[in-house]
Each structure stands twice: as C-alpha cells, then as structure tokens.
C-alpha cells in the first residue's frame, strides 16, 4: 500500500507537526505500507526522519503556511504520486491563520475525492465546539456568526471525504446528525510514545510543576504562577514552575509579557519551543503536568503525552478534557479554571500525597498504553482497506 500523508512535519513549527511526525513514524513500521509520501510544508532544514524504516518515506515539500497556492501544489503533488490513499492531518488553521489560505486548504479533501483519490481526514477540532473568543479568533458577536457560517460550510466540504475521523466520541454523533452523513468515525488521538521502563518515582531535587503547549489564547499560565505562589506561602517544599512551549500564533508576545509581569517570582523556567527530541526529558523531569486552560478545542495531545510518561495531571473541569477522562480512562485532579486558589488546592492535593500521585500516574500510563499510536495507525489502515473494498463492490454492482 502506498500512502500519502498531508501534514506539517518537524522541524516545522506549523500546528500538528508533532502529531504528523508520530503518524508517519508508526505507519512505516507496518508491513503493508510499502511507501509513504510525505506531502509537507517547506522548511529550511531537512525533515526529521530519525526513525526505523524511514527509507520508506519520500518527502515532497510543496506547500507553505498562508500560501494561496497550496490548493494547486498539493493537488498536483498527490496526482503525480498516485497513492492508494491520502490521509489529511487537519484542524481549521492548518494551512494558514489568514481566512482565504486557511479555507482553500480545507477544500483539498473534497477536491481530491472528486478527482478519484481515496481520502481520509483526521479532524482534530470542529468549529461548533470552539469558543472563538477564548481561542483568540474574535470576541465580536457578528464576526463570530460569520466565522461559524464559514466553519459550517467548510465542514460540509471536509465531510465529502470518504471518511472523516474525529478523536472524541461526542463529535461522531454530532457531525453525523447535523450534516446528515454517516462517514464520521471515532479514531482516538492516541499516545505518541509509550516507554516500557517508566519510573513513577520522582527525580531528586525540587518538584517541578509543568505546563506544556502554545500559550496566550485559552492557555494562560498566569493562573498557574499565582497558584504556586499561594502554595509557597504555606508549604516550605521547594517547587519550580516550568513553562514549556511558545506563544500561540494568535497571541504573539504573550509569554514575554508574563516574564515581565512575574519577574519578581523565583523558580520559573521558560523553555521556549520544545523540539521533538527534548519532549521526553521535559516530561520525565516533571512532577505534575498542569493544564491552565479556560476552554478546549478538541482532544488534548498534552494529556496523552503526560500519560505516556506516567505523569499525574491537574485539569480544568470542562469540555473535552472531562470527556477524555470519561471515555479513555485518564485520571487527574480537577480545578475551577477561573480560580487560582482552586488550582493551588488541586496541585497541593497531589504534591502532599505521593501515593495518590503515583496512583494517578499509573492510571494515565495504562490509558496511554491502551491507545498507543501503533494501534491508532492500525485503525487508519483498516479504514483505507474498507474504502477500497467499498469502491470495488460498487464497481462490480455497476458492471452487473
């Protein structure tokens, strides 16, 4: 089977590049995949093909973030390669944060389906479930209605693909009911890595409370710093804060403003963008992973990563994070996303009871192992086969 995967890919900084890396890494370990064509964005440095069987991968760097030409260059590349199936690793700002390039890119699955390609879309979020104000798009009510109309139109186009995979079960029923379709399927997010020798003991030194992601829209670290400061007033134990990641594209300069605001607070590390090779160390050194979110936009890759490395987590009790806990077996301590004291209490509950921390960490590791990326890729391969068999069946019926 020859597969094309349309995705951003490290060293790219475009959204979902890490997920694209792990998809490709696991696809090429499968015997039935003879070749994988990486339809990816242009970067100045070579793509990070540092995994087994990378010789199966051919790289076609044919698109750029916010380029109006992507719709033409990607179609041309796919038609030239003639893959057996095309997988899109998508969310609504995958191809740009400007309206027209972003929208044009999301038409690609429909266009390639019309041109005869077997198309599967992994859709990480759906517009109807995104808080546009919190996510940094717009707080203007009229603009929100325009965004929602455009989002509904683009979702209708995306659903023209053979299969649209979503990572949360609620989305399956919602999309199939609203858009009168039956081609939406649940394929969970999956865990990038599941190390076999995870230690649930803590490394020596200060306890590190870590937040990981792209910050400034609905992910704001101010509440985390305020919460740790509250804990420090009553707890003599040494606690460090690690802010791992960079600004969200919608809020440039946010983390710099945080550095200036909290310049008087000791024990804060801002790592900047975390390269793929450094992710394991960041998680391994952490005591707790905290999600300082005021909203959610889909399944959480950070939660799955925390589970993979056997970490306890502190989460806001809202939206898709709560659903993931229920659906996939993750555990955590919850807090009110508008209250620093609530977050401080949740963090303290774990820090002060190491047996409790280990129970949460082990439950999360178990949940991550049960949905490893290896198993997720098997689900996609099965979808590719089902699409091909369906087309063969329809051809036979027509011939009869």
> Which segments of 9-167 are extended strands (E)?
35-41, 57-63, 85-90, 119-123, 163-166
Q: What is the mean pLDDT of residues 388-393?
A: 82
pLDDT digits (tens, 9 = 90+) for 72-89: 999 999 999 999 999 999
Residue 23 φ/ψ region, left for φ over 0, alpha for ψ in the -120 to 50 degree band, beta for the rest: alpha
Q: Which has the closest alpha carbon to 35: 23, 53, 61?
A: 53
Q: Between the CA of residue 283 and those of 11, 196, 256, 274, 309, what are the distances in Å?
A: 20, 15, 23, 11, 7
- Going by C-beta distance under 8 Å and a sequence separation of 6 or more, which residues neighbour residue 384? 1, 3, 84, 85, 118, 120
pLDDT digits (tens, 9 = 90+) for 193-233: 776 778 899 888 899 999 998 898 888 999 999 999 999 99
Residue 14 sits at the vertex; the CA angle it makes with 9 and 17, to the nearest 5 degrees, is: 35
Evaluate if residue 396 carries a pLDDT over 80. no
Tell me, what's the pLDDT at 98? 86
- How many residues in total does the chain contain? 400
| Local confidence band at 292 (pLDDT 50, 70, 90 cut-offs) | very high
- Going by C-beta distance under 8 Å and a sequence separation of 6 or more, which residues neighbour residue 116? none
Listed in sequence order, the DSSP H helices in 289-333 are 301-308, 319-328
Pair 157, 107: CB distance under 8 Å:
yes
The mean-pLDDT minimum among 28-32, 91-95, 214-218, 394-398 falls in 394-398
From-to residues of CATH 3.40.50.2000 in the chain: 2-190+373-399, 207-370
- The tokens describing 299, both together, are 């399944």
For the domain bounded by 2-190+373-399, which CATH number is listed? 3.40.50.2000
Evaluate if residue 255 carries a pLDDT over 70. yes
- Is the model more confident about 257 or about 131? 257
Tell me, what's the pLDDT at 294? 83
- Going by C-beta distance under 8 Å and a sequence separation of 6 or more, which residues neighbour residue 165? 120, 121, 122, 123, 184, 185, 186, 187, 379, 380, 383
- Going by C-beta distance under 8 Å and a sequence separation of 6 or more, which residues neighbour residue 305? 191, 192, 193, 212, 279, 283
Tell me, what's the pLDDT at 171? 87
Tell me, what's the pLDDT at 297? 62
| Local confidence band at 170 (pLDDT 50, 70, 90 cut-offs) | confident
Q: What is the mean pLDDT of residues 136-148?
A: 61
| Local confidence band at 192 (pLDDT 50, 70, 90 cut-offs) | confident
Residues 71, 196: Cα–Cα separation, whole Å: 42
Residues 389, 280: Cα–Cα separation, whole Å: 40
pLDDT digits (tens, 9 = 90+) for 320-364: 667 767 777 889 999 999 999 999 999 999 999 999 999 999 999
Tell me, what's the pLDDT at 132? 46
pTM over 0.85? The answer is no
- The tokens describing 294, both together, are 């005021």
Helix (H, G, I), strand (E, B) or coil at 248: coil
Evaluate if residue 31 carries a pLDDT over 60. yes
The mean-pLDDT minimum among 18-22, 126-130, 190-194 falls in 126-130
Q: Which has the closest alpha carbon to 343: 201, 202, 211?
A: 211
Q: What is the mean pLDDT of residues 273-302?
A: 85
Could you tell me the end-to-end alpha-carbon distance of the chain, in angstroms, rounded to an integer? 28
Residues 305, 212: Cα–Cα separation, whole Å: 10
Neighbouring C-beta atoms of residue 309, cutoff 10 Å: 26
Tell me, what's the pLDDT at 319? 66
Helix (H, G, I), strand (E, B) or coil at 300: coil
The mean-pLDDT minimum among 56-70, 142-156, 234-248, 278-292 falls in 142-156
Q: What is the mean pLDDT of residues 121-136?
A: 68
- Going by C-beta distance under 8 Å and a sequence separation of 6 or more, which residues neighbour residue 199? 310
Tell me, what's the pLDDT at 386? 93
pLDDT digits (tens, 9 = 90+) for 295-328: 766 667 788 899 999 999 999 987 666 776 777 7
> Which segments of 50-110 are extended strands (E)?
57-63, 85-90
Fold of 207-370: Rossmann fold (3.40.50)
Evaluate if residue 97 carries a pLDDT over 90. no
CB burial string 13-23: b at 16+ within 10 A, e below: ebbbbbbbbbb
Evaluate if residue 23 carries a pLDDT over 90. yes
- Is the model more confident about 132 or about 307? 307
Bridge-based pairing state of the strands 288-290 and 207-215: parallel
Q: What is the mean pLDDT of residues 252-281?
A: 92
Residues 325, 323: Cα–Cα separation, whole Å: 5
| Local confidence band at 372 (pLDDT 50, 70, 90 cut-offs) | confident
Residues 118, 153: Cα–Cα separation, whole Å: 22
């Amino acid at each position: 089977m020859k597969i094309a995967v349309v995705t951003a890919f490290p060293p790219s900084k475009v959204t979902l590049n890490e997920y694209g890396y792990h998809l490709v890494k696991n696809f090429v370990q499968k015997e039935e995949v003879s070749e994988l064509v990486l339809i990816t964005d242009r970067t100045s440095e070579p793509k990070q093909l540092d995994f087994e069987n990378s010789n199966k991968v051919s790289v076609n760097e044919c698109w750029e973030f916010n380029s109006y030409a992507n719709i033409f260059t990607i179609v041309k590349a796919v038609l030239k390669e003639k893959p057996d199936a095309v997988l899109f690793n998508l969310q609504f700002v995958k191809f740009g944060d400007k309206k027209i390039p972003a929208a044009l890119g999301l038409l690609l699955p429909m266009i390639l389906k019309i041109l005869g390609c077997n198309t599967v879309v992994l859709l990480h979020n759906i517009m109807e479930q995104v808080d546009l104000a919190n996510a940094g798009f717009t707080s203007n009510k009229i603009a929100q209605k325009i965004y929602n109309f455009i989002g509904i139109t683009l979702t209708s186009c995306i659903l023209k693909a053979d299969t649209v995979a979503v990572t949360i079960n609620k989305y399956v029923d919602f999309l199939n009911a609203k858009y009168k379709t039956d081609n939406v399927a649940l394929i969970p997010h999956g865990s990038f890595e599941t190390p076999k020798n995870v230690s649930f003991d803590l490394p020596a030194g200060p306890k590190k409370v870590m937040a990981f992601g792209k910050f400034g829209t609905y992910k704001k670290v101010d509440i985390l710093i305020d919460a740790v400061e509250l804990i420090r007033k009553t707890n003599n134990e040494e606690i460090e804060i690690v802010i791992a990641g960079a600004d969200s594209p919608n809020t440039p300069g946010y983390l710099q403003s945080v550095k200036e605001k909290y310049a008087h607070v000791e024990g804060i590390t801002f790592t900047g963008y975390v390269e793929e090779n450094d992710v394991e160390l960041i998680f391994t050194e952490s005591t707790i992973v905290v999600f300082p979110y005021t909203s959610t936009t889909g399944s959480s890759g950070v939660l799955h990563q925390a589970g993979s490395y056997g970490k306890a987590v502190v989460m806001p009790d809202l939206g898709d994070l709560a659903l993931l806990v229920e659906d996939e077996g993750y555990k955590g301590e919850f807090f009110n996303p508008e209250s620093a004291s609530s977050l401080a209490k949740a963090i303290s509950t774990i820090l002060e009871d190491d047996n409790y921390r280990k129970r949460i960490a082990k439950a999360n590791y178990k949940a991550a192992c049960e949905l490893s990326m290896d198993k997720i890729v098997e689900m996609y391969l099965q979808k590719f086969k089902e699409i091909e068999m369906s087309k063969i069946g329809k051809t036979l019926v027509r011939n009869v």
